[in-house]
Structure 1
Amino acid sequence: MAVYTHLSNAQISAYLAPFNLGALVDFKGISGGIENTNYFVTTKVTGQPQQDFVLTLFEDLSYDDIPYFVDLTDHLVANDITVPAALRDKNGTALNLLAGKPAVLFPRFAGDHLARSEIGVSECAIMGKELARLHLAGQKFATTRHSHRGQAWWSELGPRAAKCIDGEGATMLMMAIGQYEAMQSQQPDLPKGVVHGDLFHDNALFNQGQLSATIDLYNASNDYLLFDVAITVNDWCIAADGSIEPDLYNAFLEAYASIRTFNEAEHRYWNAMLVAAAMRFWLSRLETFHGLDAHHREEGVTVLKDPDVFRDILSHRMQQFQLLPSLP
């Protein structure tokens, strides 16, 4: 279970006290996370129903990093995007320290993420529209942030990761990094704005067939919107072997384009973005799997996701050229 910071009843109760949410009834560490520690927390005010929250402790991001995400989620909620926005205590403060870590309390939304077998055309269409709506709303957000796992990160990490894998994989990895750098040198006319950066199917909650919330925005930054679309397609619209599943792919992209139209440059560089998105997540999994990052966590606690999943996805994207829906 990915709970890196273990908390007691007394610690959580003390943290909750300024929020006036009643007495702590129960708390439970959430399994499956990789970068942060998360707890489900239940409270009760006498004479009222129980309330459920999510308490997040940030293990990698610094205290000074967090206000960006607090402000961003406030902005998105104000623009009718359903994301968890931080709760504020009686002093109007959202960000506090708990066990020496930056900590934020969020409402808990109904629903759960879909199993891969539950992802169909309808779900992909819902997510395509929602990502486009998030992108449009994000373009009105004034604060900017560079990704902590952007081009500078992968340019530095790539050669180190390549030494940990077989020669064929190393060649493919470095080729993908080189292709992105070549694209950048052409200064493509690709729209930029706020991106989610990690909108995998386990970062969307569905309840009775409808999207109830988009969660985990801690990879949000300013980047190419097309890169965010590629990240999402590479998770939501694939078959078991990592290849594109045409019905899901078309449903997602057509729904997205119905809200935000792709420009000519986005059509031209689409496959390059699919390659870059696959490379980025293969590299982040290699970093954790081979212990190439600077974070030392308790053995057996860190969730290690199989890097080969994204090796296969990258291989397919480099071999099978994909197109966006036709321009009108």
Structure 2
Amino acid sequence: MAVYTTLSSAQVSAYLSPFNLGELVELRGISGGIENTNYFVTTQAKGQPPQTFVLTLFEDLDYEEMPYFIGLTEHLVAHNVTVPAPLRNETGSALSLLAGKPTLLFPRFAGDHLARSEIGKNECAIMGRELASLHRAGQGFAKQRQSHRGPLWWNELGPRAAQCIEGEDATMLMMAIGQYDAMQSQQPNLPTGVIHGDLFHDNALFNEGKLSATIDLYNASNDYLLFDIAITVNDWCISADGSIAPHLYNAFLDAYANIRAFTPLEQQYWNAMLITAAMRFWLSRLETFHSLDNHQREEGVTVFKEPDVFRDILRHRMQKFHQLP
């Protein structure tokens, strides 16, 4: 959600014209994040109140990859999952190029993400139900996509990242990657389907105590559903030191299981998935922090997320065995 690509008002006005939303009255970059360029765009049609939208330019994803995300969000909206689907212009197209980048325009939802201190049992239960609903709805989505930050990525990046960190940490990172590879060699028959892939608390908007939208589905792919649950638990259900907070953990997983029950194999591989999910996000933060990717990052543009947060989460997951309730 940083601004890597700077746009002029003239560029955005020309882009907006086929959407028939009125005149551009404000263009404001959204700071933070590490992957895409985002702007708040406010327009006003004659005699109408102003409306604000979110304009997203995709810095990492290719134009050819975008139909998956457009189709997925429209499919989920049709199945009552609260995600933003892109607007379509007067020709029926949602996708176009702006400043040479694939670009989509989204409605802006009310609300904001929760502060860590605001996450309680009720919020975790809401998100457990929401993720289970997304997984169930995703079973009917026909298109397939492999994650751009899956096993191929972490097996290539892992050894390079290990060279940038201290010895014990490097060993832990490579052990976590090796554990996932060993699990894969057993070919576990775990439920698969569409996953969100990044359902952290800053990717959910709450308004007056209710979920208004689940956002940022650009890590969505087809993978183990259990992996997605582990990603979400590792952010929503933790104490300040990264350890599991039992009251949040149980609220989330009980709510999820009321919509989609866990299988015996998911029970068996759950702890391994918690470890894999922690490793994956530690590695993505190490990638950015140590400039191991291809982004041209300017000082002050990107908000770098602290890698050690997920190092500590991974350490906790490797030290204590967890079971599904």
**Same fold (TM > 0.5):** yes
Deviation at 1:64, TM superposition (A): 0.8
Residue identity opposite 1:81 in structure 2: V
- The reply on whether 1:245 has 2:245 as its aligned counterpart is yes
Deviation of residue 173 (structure 1)?
0.3
AA in 1 matched with 2:250: N
Q: Which residue of 2 aligns with 1:314?
A: 314
Look up the match of 1:198.
198
Instruction: Provide the residue aligned with 2:145 in structure 1.
Output: 145
Report the AA paired with residue 139 of structure 1.
Answer: Q
Answer whether contact 2:2 2:33 (CA < 8 A) is retained. yes
Partner of 1:217: 217
Distance in 2 between the 1:243 and 1:236 partners? 11
Per the alignment, residue 130 of structure 1 pairs with 130
2:285 maps to what in 1? 285
Alignment root-mean-square deviation, CA = 0.8
What does 1:32-43 correspond to in 2, within 5 Å?
32-43=32-43
Counterpart position of 1:182: 182
Does 2:187 correspond to 1:226? Answer: no
Residue by residue over 1:177-201, the C-alpha shift from the partner in whole angstroms, topping out at 9 and shown as x without a partner, is 0110111111112100000000000
Code of the residue aligned with 1:282 in structure 2: it is W
What amino acid sits opposite 2:323 in the alignment?
L
- Equivalent position amino acid for 1:233 in 2: V
3-state DSSP class of the match of 2:146?
coil
Q: Residue in 2 aligned with 1:170?
A: 170
- Does the CA contact (< 8 Å) of 2:282 and 2:311 recur in 1? yes
Q: Does 1:57 align with 2:57?
A: yes
In structure 2, C-alpha distance between the alignment counterparts of 1:47 and 1:281, rounded to whole Å: 47
Query: Is 1:5 aligned with 2:5?
Result: yes
The corresponding residue for 2:23 is: 23
Q: Deviations over 1:188-232 (max 9, x none)?
A: 121000000000000000000000000000000000000000000
Letter aligned with residue 84 of structure 2: P
Runs of 4+ in 1 over 4 A off after TM superposition: none
- Give the Cα–Cα distance (whole angstroms) in 1 for the partners of residues 236 and 41 of structure 2: 29
Structure 1 unmatched ranges of 5 or more: none
Distance between the aligned counterparts of 1:163 and 1:273, measured in 2? 24
Q: Following TM superposition, by how much is the alpha carbon of 1:324 offset from its aligned partner in structure 2, in angstroms?
A: 0.2
The letter of the residue matching 1:272 is A
Q: Which amino acid aligns with 1:10?
A: A
What is the DSSP-based 3-state SS (H/G/I as helix, E as strand, rest coil) of the residue aligned with 2:81? coil
Once the 2 structures are TM-superposed, how far is the Cα of residue 84 of structure 1 from its aligned partner? Answer: 0.5
TM-score, normalising length: structure 1: 0.98
Q: Normalised by the size of structure 2, how large is the TM-score? A: 0.99
- Within 5 Å, give how 1:249-264 maps onto structure 2: 249-264=249-264
How far apart are the structure 2 equivalents of 1:27 and 1:254? 43
1:262 partner SS: coil
Amino acid at match of 2:280: R
1:130-154 CA-to-partner distances (Å, cap 9, x unmatched) read 0000000001000000000000100
Task: Provide the secondary structure at the position in 1 that maps to 2:106.
Answer: strand
One-letter amino acid of the structure 2 residue matched with residue 277 of structure 1:
A
> Residue 33 of structure 1: CA displacement?
2.1
- Mapped to 1, the partners of 2:248 and 2:198 lie a distance apart of 18
Question: Matched residues in 1 for 2:32 and 2:132: separation?
Answer: 27
Q: Which residue of 2 aligns with 1:236?
A: 236
Shift of 1:172: 0.3
Counterpart residue type for residue 174 of structure 2: M
Q: Contact conserved, 2:32 with 2:302, CA < 8 A, in 1?
A: no
2: CA distance, partners of 1:41 / 1:117: 30
- Taking the aligned partners of 1:69 and 1:223, their CA distance within structure 2 comes to 15
Task: Give per-residue Cα distances to partners, 1:149-183, cap 9 Å, x unaligned.
Answer: 00010011111100100000000000000110111
Q: Secondary structure at the match of 1:259?
A: coil
Matched AA of 1:28:
R
Stretch moving more, 106-115 or 27-36: 27-36
> What is the deviation of 1:301?
1.4
Could you tell me how far 1:302 is from its partner in structure 2? Answer: 2.1
**Separation in structure 2 between the aligned mates of residue 296 and residue 44 of structure 1, nearest angstrom:** 35
TM-superposed deviation, 1:32: 1.4
* SS class of match (1:300): coil
Q: Is the 8 A contact 2:279 2:310 kept in 1?
A: yes
Amino acid at match of 1:283: L
In structure 2, the residue matched to 1:85 is 85
Rounded Cα–Cα distance in structure 2 between residues aligned with 1:124 and 1:248: 6
Deviation at 1:300?
A: 3.0
Task: Show the counterpart of 2:118.
Answer: 118
Instruction: Report deviation, 1:47.
Output: 1.2
For 2:98 and 2:177, locate their aligned partners in 1 and report how far apart those are by CA, in whole Å: 39
The alignment partner of 2:161 has SS state of: helix
Counterpart-to-counterpart distance in 1, 2:322 and 2:60:
35
Partners in 1 of 2:113 and 2:143 — Cα distance? 29
Equivalent pair of 2:84/2:107 in contact (CA under 8 Å):
yes
Name 1:106's counterpart in structure 2.
106
